[in-house]
Amino acid sequence: MKTFNISDIKKQTEEIEVKYLSAYATKSIDTKGRLLQEKECPLRTEFQRDRDKILHSKAFRRLKHKTQVFLSPVGDHYRTRLTHTLEVSQIARTIARALRLNEDLTEAIALGHDLGHTPFGHTGERVLDEIMPSGFKHNEQSIRVVTVIENLNLTQETLNGIENHTGNVTPFTLEGQLVKISDRIAYINHDIDDAIRAGIIKEEDLPQESREYLGKSKSERISTIVIDIIENSMDKPEISMSEECKKHMDIMRSWLFENVYYTKKEEDKAERIIRELFNLYVKMLEQIYDCRDGNLTKRIVCDYIASMTDRYAIQKYKQHFLPANNMAEASDSFLYTLAQQNNLGKKN
Confidence of residue 263 (pLDDT cuts 50, 70, 90): low
pLDDT digits (tens, 9 = 90+) for 60-91: 999 999 988 776 556 677 889 999 999 999 99
Residues 142 and 285 both lie in one domain: no
Structure letter (DSSP) for residue 155: B
* CB neighbours of residue 80 within 10 Å: 20
Residue 244, SS3?
helix
The least confident of 55-69, 74-88, 137-151, 255-269 is: 255-269
**Burial of residue 165, with CB atoms counted within 10 A of its CB: 0-12 exposed, 13-18 middle, 19 or more buried:** buried
- Residues 246 and 313 placed together within one structural domain of the fold: no
Residues 156 and 176 in one domain: yes
Residue 305 lies in a domain: yes
CB contact at 8 A, 150 and 27:
no
Q: What pLDDT, on a 0 to 100 scale, did the predictor assign at position 345?
A: 80
> Looking at the 3D structure of the chain, how many domains does it have?
2
pLDDT (tens digit, 9 = 90+) per residue, 30-58?
A: 999 999 999 999 999 999 999 999 999 99
Cα gap 180→97, rounded to integer Å? 16
pLDDT of residue 264: 64
Please check whether residues 229 and 323 belong to one and the same domain. no
Q: What percent of the chain has pLDDT over 70?
A: 95
201 and 240, same domain (yes or no): yes
Q: Which amino acid type is present at position 12?
A: Q
Model confidence pLDDT, tens digit, residues 179-217: 999 999 999 999 999 888 888 899 999 999 999 999 999
Query: Does residue 6 lie within any of the structural domains?
Result: no
Domain check: are 238 and 118 in the same one?
yes
Instruction: Report the b/e string of 319-343 with b at 16+ CB within 10 A.
Output: beeeeeeeeeeeebebbbebbeeee
- 101 and 222 share one domain: yes
Q: Is 146 inside a domain boundary?
A: yes
Least confident of 60-64, 101-105, 118-122, 168-172: 118-122
256 plus 293 within the same structural domain: no
Q: Of 232, 261, 290, which residue sits at a domain end?
A: 261
**Res 166: pLDDT:** 95
> 216 lies in a domain?
yes
HSE at residue 171, side-chain half, CA atoms within 13 A, is 29
Identify which has the larger pLDDT, 268 or 158. Answer: 158
Query: Does residue 21 fall inside a structural domain?
Result: no
The whole-chain average pLDDT of the chain stands at: 92
List the CATH number of the domain containing 247: 1.10.3210.10
Does a structural domain hold residue 220?
Answer: yes
Phi and psi at residue 346, to the nearest 5°:
-70, 150
Burial label, 174 (beta-carbon count in 10 A; 0-12, 13-18, 19+): buried
Compute the C-alpha angle 85/312/148, nearest 5°.
Answer: 60
**Under DSSP, is residue 103 helix (H, G, I), strand (E, B) or coil?**
helix
pLDDT at residue 286 above 80? yes
One domain for residues 316 and 248: no
pLDDT on residue 46:
97
Boundary (domain end) residue, out of 261, 283, 302: 261
Res. 124: pLDDT tops 80: yes
Containing structural domain, residue 217: 42-261
Q: Are 225 and 317 in the same domain?
A: no
271 and 184 within one domain: no
Q: Which residue has the higher pLDDT, 9 or 263?
A: 9
Q: Which has more confidence, 256 or 152?
A: 152
Nearest to 161 by CA among 149, 148, 174: 174
Establish if 17 belongs to a structural domain.
Answer: no
Helix, strand, coil share (%) of the chain residues, nearest 5 = 65, 0, 35
Compute the average pLDDT of residues 238-253. 97
Q: Are residues 214 and 253 in the same domain?
A: yes
177 pLDDT more than 80: yes
Query: Which of 230, 261, 292 finishes a domain?
Result: 261
Q: Does 187 reside within a domain?
A: yes
Q: What is the 3-state secondary structure (H, E, C) of 295-335?
A: HHHHHHHHHHHHHCCHHHHHHHHHHHHCCCCCCCCCCCHHH
pLDDT bin (cut points 50, 70, 90) of residue 4 is confident
